[in-house]
């Protein structure tokens, strides 16, 4: 055997390379040569026989390594290859898995343990290491002949690849300074130094100058003053200043003197602590003891469908991806299968089918990996009684204790239990024979005609179907019922009953009776889903639904874009646990809040938001065309009650994706800050056609930190694209 302890030993093995089988399906298995590049983070692979073509990916993009037959593809070839040869690399975002088969268990282990170690290393790097690593990656990519050196011409070409447009004299000057041995070329460490000089930022230097007495460093007191006056920190600023020096100051002498250099200051501003998102609110910190109906719940629609709509693939991986994003309500569309086993797919279409039982096994495995709070399984049931009973059996047998099968304390509830009380539980949302009152009533027959048939949602179903008693019994707190109006809901409805609305129906209710909708949603759950016309799996704006307190706003998680940005932004707070407490004025069953008239609410407190967009750093190229450099602009969009929906943007800056400076201030009045989301978007201005998307970041208004902040941009897919950021100065104040 070999030593698992030794990272370097594993790295050496990986650098030497291995031939692994890449598997896409039962019929697509091809040998590829894999090796780890010298930077220790990039994995390179190619077909042994093909010409020059090769692929690479960074270990930083890998989220996890699964061992054995732990993916759909691996399960499909389980009989052909034993588990000890198989492993799966899972990537961040929506990128598909990489399924690999090694020749020997030792080789598989070398890669499994090796990649895991590297992921750990990548995750624990500090800001400086991360930045240096990023620069080294570029160097490796550009160093085509792999001699570890780059002359000025090559450096110029690389700068262009990095989206840096530079004055040639300026670049040459810095190049000469970095080329200490006057060899006419830079080695990797010299290039890192060259890049550091290149990325020194004037605008950060100016802020530093404003607070530094000697222009060289910030004393503890000066840093404290900066934190108090600019960063909105009060009593804690003294202690915090000391911590920041410990954490971010690279010079040991400065740390000893309790002072901060410009480098340390820039490092702090660029860190997560210096981010626009208040780090304290990223943690799980909300009250989780209120009834379920008091929370917004991250929810997915048609969960079984993968991003790739053309192949119409239904996939277990889609469930894993949604759960991984913090989703707490998944949808299962069930139809009678041919051999007595219910199947899940998009009915009446050519999408592929998966077994209901496999989905439930996947849920058992992945439901509580990123959050302990309850998962709701929203069942679209098109099955006959027989297979419904099969479903009930699978649910009970596979989930066991995880499945909630009876009210918590054996009582008929007057309000829904809390996420805290339901930790680790899976709840079934489906139609039910009778109420909880009849739960133990044995006199009912096995098959009952169901009058609530149209309640469940967006798929057509026969108007009179039969329910299986076994399945019905598993429905406890989420009984699907038809909506008979708010009047009826107020006088008749039970707290464990809930209705589903298409986006258009929900919007109409919100418009006609927003306030009543809010009061109803304080007590009962409600689910909204995309219009049946969205065959392209596009999404509706979830904010319209949150404005009236809808909890389960089901979105197509497989479709990236604005709507998913809003969902990701809403649920990034509170530990990404999938539950976010609604504002207090929406949790009150007597609330008079109307999203159309936020100023009528007692305690109405509008805010002024002022954002000085100062600069951006190292924006990615959107267009890989040779010689094309972006013309960026920044837009700030507010989503909230109708009066708050607005956007403002800066002008665009020609040909600079590297360090554009705007210095433009955008002003907003926000009437319901408790509900609002703020979305920062960077686009590449285009005179003749639509602007191209460069990056975005969305966060709840209440999570904004004031002061000099960086906005760390995300790709269209919602994954990080370091070191791309926007530097802003944010001022939030009360409107007087
Ligand atoms: C941006 O604003 C700062 C401070 O007000 C100023 O010193 C700087 O010259 C401005 N830069 C540009 C490009 O307008
Ligand atoms: C924020 O804006 C308010 C109102 O315009 C102003 O009074 C205050 O001085 C500003 N705060 C900072 C730190 O600039």
Q: What is the pLDDT of residues 417-443, one digit of tens each?
A: 999 999 999 999 999 998 887 665 544
Q: Which pLDDT belongs to residue 12?
A: 82
Q: Is the CB of 663 under 6 A from ligand 1?
A: yes
- Amino acid 648: pLDDT: 98
Report which ligand 1 atom has the smallest distance to the Cα of 206.
7
How far, in Å, from the CA of 727 to the mean position of ligand 1? Answer: 13
pTM over 0.85: yes
| Domain termination residue (choose one: 95, 124, 153) | 124
Q: Pick the last residue of a domain from 501, 517, 551.
A: 501
Residue 445, pLDDT > 70, answer no
Q: What is the CATH number of the domain that holds 36?
A: 2.30.29.30
Domain contains 240: yes
User: Which residue blocks in 199-274 are alpha helix, DSSP H?
Assistant: 202-211, 220-229, 237-248, 252-256, 262-270
311/415: higher pLDDT: 415
- Is 331 within any annotated ligand binding site? yes
d(CA 170, CA 206): 21
User: Helix 220-229 vs helix 237-248: angle between axes, to the nearest 10 degrees?
Assistant: 120
Q: Is 560 within the bounds of a domain?
A: no
Mean pLDDT of 295-311: 81
State both tokens at 586. Answer: 């929406």
pLDDT higher than 90, residue 83: yes
- What pLDDT, on the 0 to 100 scale, is given for residue 307? 58
CATH number for the domain harbouring residue 230 = 1.10.238.10
Give the residue from 362, 324, 370 showing the smallest Cα distance to 718.
324
Q: What is the mean pLDDT of residues 82-105?
A: 94
Cα-Cα-Cα-Cα dihedral sign, residues 370, 363, 699, 588: negative
DSSP labels, 345-386: S-TTS----EEHHHHHHHHHHHTTSS--S-EEEEEEE---HH
**142 and 51 assigned to the same domain:** no
Interatomic CA distance for residues 16 and 5, integer angstroms: 18
pLDDT score, position 336: 95
Tell how far the Cα of 663 is from the centroid of ligand 1, in angstroms: 6
The pLDDT value recorded for residue 193 is: 84
At a CB cut-off of 8 Å and minimum separation 6, what does 323 contact? Answer: 330, 363, 366, 367, 369, 370, 375
| Between 568 and 163, the higher pLDDT residue | 568
Provide CB contacts within 8 A for 424, sequence distance 6+: 368, 372, 374, 402
Q: Is the pLDDT of residue 507 over 80?
A: yes
pLDDT (0 to 100) of residue 452: 41
pLDDT digits (tens, 9 = 90+) for 320-375: 999 999 999 999 999 999 999 999 988 767 678 899 999 999 999 999 999 999 99
Angle between helices 152-161 and 168-178 (to 10 degrees): 120
Indicate whether 455 pLDDT > 50: no
* Stretch 706-718: mean pLDDT: 96
Is 711 within 8 Å of 728 (Cβ atoms)? yes
What is the whole-number distance in angstroms between the Cα of residue 633 and the centre of ligand 2? 25
- 698 CA → ligand 1 middle, Å: 26
Assess if residue 588 is contained within a domain: no
Calculate ∠ Cα 724-726-728, nearest 5°: 160
Same domain, 111 and 141: no
Residues with CB under 6 A from ligand 2: 731, 733
Question: Has residue 15 been placed in a domain?
Answer: yes
Residue 381's domain is classified under what CATH number?
3.20.20.190
In terms of C-beta distances under 8 Å and separation of at least 24 residues, what long-range contacts does 221-226 make, across chains too?
223/259, 223/260
- Phi/psi at 377 (nearest 5 deg)? -100, 110
| 256 Cβ closer than 6 Å to some ligand 1 atom | no
In which domain, by residue range, is 166 found?
133-199
Q: Which DSSP state fits 199?
A: T
377: CB partners within 8 A, 6+ apart:
329, 330, 332, 363, 426, 427, 428, 429
* DSSP of 389-422: HHHHHHHHHHHGGGB--S-TTSS--SSPPPTTTT
Assign 463 a pLDDT band (cuts: 50, 70, 90): very low
* Short-list 497, 344, 348, CA closest to 414: 497
Residue owning tokens 């389980």: 78
> Is 72 in the same domain as 109?
yes
Q: Are 344 and 356 in contact (CB under 8 A)?
A: yes
Q: Look at residue 446 in the predicted model and tell me its pLDDT.
A: 44
| Residue 576 resides in a domain | no
> Over 70: is that where the pLDDT of 51 sits?
no
In a domain, 254, yes or no: yes
Beta strands in 411-461 (DSSP E): 426-430, 447-449
Residue 314: predicted pLDDT: 81
Confidence at 541, pLDDT banded by 50, 70, 90: very high
Do 260 and 345 fall within a single domain? Answer: no
Mind listing the pLDDT tens digit for each residue in 687-710?
888 999 999 999 999 999 999 999
Closest protein CA for atom 11 of ligand 1: 663
Q: Is 629 annotated as a binding residue?
A: yes
Q: Give residue 2's pLDDT.
A: 40
Residues 626 and 482 in one domain: no
Tokens 């009973």 found at: 389
Looking at the predicted structure, is the pLDDT value of residue 453 above 50?
no
Name the residue at shortest CA distance from atom 13 of ligand 2.
230
Q: For residue 462, what pLDDT band results from cuts at 50, 70 and 90? A: very low
Burial of 400 (0-12, 13-18, 19+ CB in 10 A): exposed
Atom 2 of ligand 1: nearest residue by CA position: 663
pLDDT of 228 > 90? The answer is: yes
Same domain (yes/no): 262, 182: no
Looking at the fold, whether 23 and 80 belong to one and the same domain comes out as yes
- 355 beta partners: 343
Looking at residue 448, its pLDDT comes to 43
**Residue linked to tokens 């976010």:** 580
| Least trusted range by pLDDT, from 309-323, 404-418, 537-551, 631-645 | 309-323
* The token pair that represents 367 in the structure block: 């439901």
Residue 644 marked as a ligand binder: no
Half-sphere exposure of 545 (CA within 13 A, CB side): 32
Whether the link from the prior residue into 723 is cis, omega within 30° of 0, is: yes
Count of H-run helices and E-run strands, the chain:
20, 32
Q: Whose CA is nearest to atom 1 of ligand 2?
A: 731
- Please give the DSSP secondary-structure letter assigned to residue 714: E
What is the average pLDDT across 633-658?
95
**Known binder of ligand: residue 631?**
yes
pLDDT score, position 459: 42
Residue nearest to atom 10 of ligand 1 (CA): 663
pLDDT at 605 over 80: yes
Question: To test ligand 2's pocket by mutation, which of 668, 708, 731 has the most ligand atoms within 8 angstroms of CB?
Answer: 731
- Asked whether the predicted pLDDT for residue 458 surpasses 60, the reply is no
Round to whole Å and give the CA distance between 223 and 654. Answer: 35
Ligand nearest to the CA of 732: 2
Cα separation, 85 vs 105, whole angstroms: 5
Does residue 67 sit in the same domain as residue 193? no
Q: What CATH number does residue 607 fall under?
A: 2.60.40.150
As a whole-number percent, the residues of the chain with pLDDT over 90 amount to: 68
Helix (H, G, I), strand (E, B) or coil at 277: strand
Are residues 161 and 236 both part of a single domain?
no
User: Are residues 144 and 54 part of one domain?
Assistant: no
User: Does residue 542 form part of some domain?
Assistant: no
Residues 239 and 229: their CA atoms lie apart, in Å, by 15
Residue 259 falls within a domain, yes or no? yes
Torsion of CA 136, 139, 144, 150, to 10 degrees: -130
Q: For residues 343 and 331, what is the distance between their CA atoms, to the nearest angstrom?
A: 13
- 219 and 195 in one domain? no
Tokens of 27: 């019929």
CA distance 551 to 419: 13
Which residues are the active-site residues? 301, 346
In the chain, % of residues over pLDDT 70: 92
Report the pLDDT averaged over residues 199-208.
92
Question: Cβ–Cβ contacts within 10 Å for residue 105, how many?
Answer: 14
Q: Taking the mean position of all CA atoms in its chain, how far away is CA 716?
A: 11
Helix axes 316-324, 356-366, angle to 10 degrees: 30
Enumerate residues 6+ apart whose C-beta is below 8 A from 334. Answer: 342, 343, 344, 356, 379, 380, 381, 382, 383, 387, 391
Q: How far are the Cα atoms of 102, 130, 668, 728 from residue 203, in angstroms, in the given order? A: 51, 22, 24, 11
Mean pLDDT, range 657-661, rounded to an integer: 89
Kindly state the tokens that stand for 319. Answer: 């469930």
Mean model confidence pLDDT for the chain: 89
Answer yes or no: is 302 a known binding residue: yes
Nearest partner of 611 among 630, 634, 633, judged by Cα:
634
Residue 506: what pLDDT?
97
In whole angstroms, give the CA distance from residue 582 to residue 296.
6
- Substitution site in 201, 203, 205 for ligand 1 pocket (most atoms within 8 Å of beta carbon): 203
Tokens in use for 577? Answer: 């646990």
The vertex-578 CA angle with 94 and 496, nearest 5°, equals 125
**Per the structure block, which two tokens stand in for 426?**
């899976």
DSSP-assigned letter for residue 439: T
Q: CA 580, 314, 23: angle at the middle one, nearest 5?
A: 110
| pLDDT on residue 532 | 84
Residues 38 and 74 in one domain: yes
pLDDT at 50: 62
How far is residue 58 from each of residues 66, 89, 234, 448, 655, measured CA to CA in Å?
17, 12, 41, 56, 28
For the chain, the domain total comes to 5
Buried/exposed 480-512: b ≥16 CB within 10 Å, e otherwise: bbebeebeebeeebbbbbbbbbbbeebbebbee
pLDDT at 129 over 90: no
Task: Report d(CA 540, CA 492) in Å as an integer.
Answer: 31
* Distances in whole angstroms, Cα of residue 173 to Cα of each of 153, 544, 711: 14, 55, 31
The pairing of beta strand 185-187 with beta strand 478-480: unpaired
Work out the pLDDT band at 658, boundaries 50, 70, 90: confident
Taking CA atoms only, the protein residue closest to ligand 2 atom 10 is 731
Q: Please give the structure tokens belonging to residue 536.
A: 């392209």
The alpha carbon of 310 is separated from its chain's Cα centroid by a whole number of angstroms, namely 24
The whole-angstrom separation of Cα 90 and Cα 334 is 27
What's the confidence (pLDDT) of residue 52? 66
Choose the final residue of a domain: 441, 474, 501. Answer: 501
Ligand 1 neighbourhood includes 206 CB (under 6 angstroms)? yes
């Amino acid at each position: 055997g070999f030593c698992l302890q030794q990272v370097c030993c594993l790295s050496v093995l990986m650098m030497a390379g291995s031939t692994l089988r890449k598997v896409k399906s039962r019929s697509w298995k091809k040998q590829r040569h894999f090796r780890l590049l010298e930077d220790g983070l990039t994995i390179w692979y190619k077909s042994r026989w093909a010409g020059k073509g090769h692929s690479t990916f960074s270990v930083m993009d890998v989220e996890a390594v699964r061992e054995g037959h732990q993916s759909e593809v691996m399960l499909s070839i389980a009989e052909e290859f034993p588990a000890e040869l198989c492993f799966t690399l899972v990537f961040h975002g929506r990128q598909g898995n990489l399924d690999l088969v090694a020749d020997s268990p030792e080789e598989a282990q070398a890669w499994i343990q090796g990649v895991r170690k590297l992921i750990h290393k990548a995750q624990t790097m500090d800001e400086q290491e991360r930045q240096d690593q990023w620069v080294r990656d570029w160097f490796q990519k550009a160093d085509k002949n792999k001699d570890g050196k780059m002359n000025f011409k090559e450096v110029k070409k690389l700068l262009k690849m990095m989206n840096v447009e530079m004055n040639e004299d300026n670049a040459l000057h810095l190049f000469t300074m970095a080329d200490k041995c006057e060899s006419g070329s830079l080695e990797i460490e010299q290039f890192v130094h060259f890049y550091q000089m290149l990325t020194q930022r004037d605008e950060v230097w100016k802020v530093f100058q404003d607070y530094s007495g000697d222009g060289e460093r910030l004393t503890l007191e000066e840093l404290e003053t900066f934190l108090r006056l600019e960063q909105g920190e009060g009593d804690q600023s003294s202690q915090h200043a000391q911590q920041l020096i410990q954490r971010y100051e690279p010079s040991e002498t400065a740390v000893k003197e309790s002072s901060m250099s410009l480098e340390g200051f820039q490092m702090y501003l660029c860190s997560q602590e210096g981010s626009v998102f208040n780090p304290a609110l990223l943690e799980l910190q909300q009250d989780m003891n209120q009834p379920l109906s008091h929370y917004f719940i991250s929810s997915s629609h048609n969960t079984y469908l993968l991003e790739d709509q053309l192949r119409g693939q239904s996939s277990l991986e889609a469930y894993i991806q949604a759960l991984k994003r913090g989703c707490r309500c998944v949808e299962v569309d069930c139809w009678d299968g041919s051999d007595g086993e219910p199947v899940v797919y998009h009915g009446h279409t050519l999408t592929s089918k998966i077994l209901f039982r496999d989905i439930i096994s996947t849920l058992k495995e992945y439901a509580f990996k990123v959050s302990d709070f309850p998962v709701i399984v929203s069942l679209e049931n098109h099955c006959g009684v027989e297979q419904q009973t099969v479903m009930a059996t699978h649910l009970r047998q596979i989930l066991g204790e995880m499945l909630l099968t009876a009210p918590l304390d054996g009582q008929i509830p007057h309000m829904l239990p809390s996420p805290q009380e339901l930790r680790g539980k899976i709840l079934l949302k489906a139609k039910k024979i009778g109420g909880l009152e009849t739960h133990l009533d044995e006199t009912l027959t096995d098959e009952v005609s169901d009058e609530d048939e149209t309640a469940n949602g967006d798929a057509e179903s026969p108007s009179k179907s039969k329910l299986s008693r076994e399945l019905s019994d598993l429905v406890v707190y989420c009984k699907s019922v038809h909506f008979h109006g708010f009047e009826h809901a107020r006088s008749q409805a039970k707290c464990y009953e809930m209705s589903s609305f298409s986006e258009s129906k929900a919007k109409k209710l919100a418009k006609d009776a927003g306030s009543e909708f809010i009061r109803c949603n304080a007590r009962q759950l409600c689910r909204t889903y995309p219009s049946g016309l969205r065959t392209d799996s596009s999404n509706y704006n979830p904010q319209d639904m949150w404005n009236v307190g809808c909890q389960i706003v089901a979105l197509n998680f497989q479709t990236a874009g604005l709507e998913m940005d809003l969902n990701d932004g809403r649920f990034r707070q509170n530990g990404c646990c999938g539950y976010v407490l609604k504002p207090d004025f929406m949790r009150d069953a007597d609330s008079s809040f109307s999203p159309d008239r936020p100023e009528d609410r007692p305690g109405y407190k509008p805010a002024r938001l002022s954002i000085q967009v100062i600069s951006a750093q190292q924006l990615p190229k959107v267009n890989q065309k040779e010689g094309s450099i972006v013309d960026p602009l920044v837009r700030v969009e507010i989503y909230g009650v109708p009066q708050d929906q607005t956007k403002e943007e800066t002008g665009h800056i020609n040909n600079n994706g590297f360090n554009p400076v705007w210095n433009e201030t955008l002003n907003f009045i926000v009437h319901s800050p408790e509900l609002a989301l703020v979305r920062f978007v960077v686009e590449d201005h285009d005179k003749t056609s639509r602007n191209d998307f460069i990056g975005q970041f969305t966060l709840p208004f209440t999570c904004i930190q004031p002061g000099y902040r960086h906005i760390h941009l995300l790709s269209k897919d919602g994954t990080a694209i370091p070191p791309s950021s926007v530097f802003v100065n944010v001022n939030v104040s009360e409107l007087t």
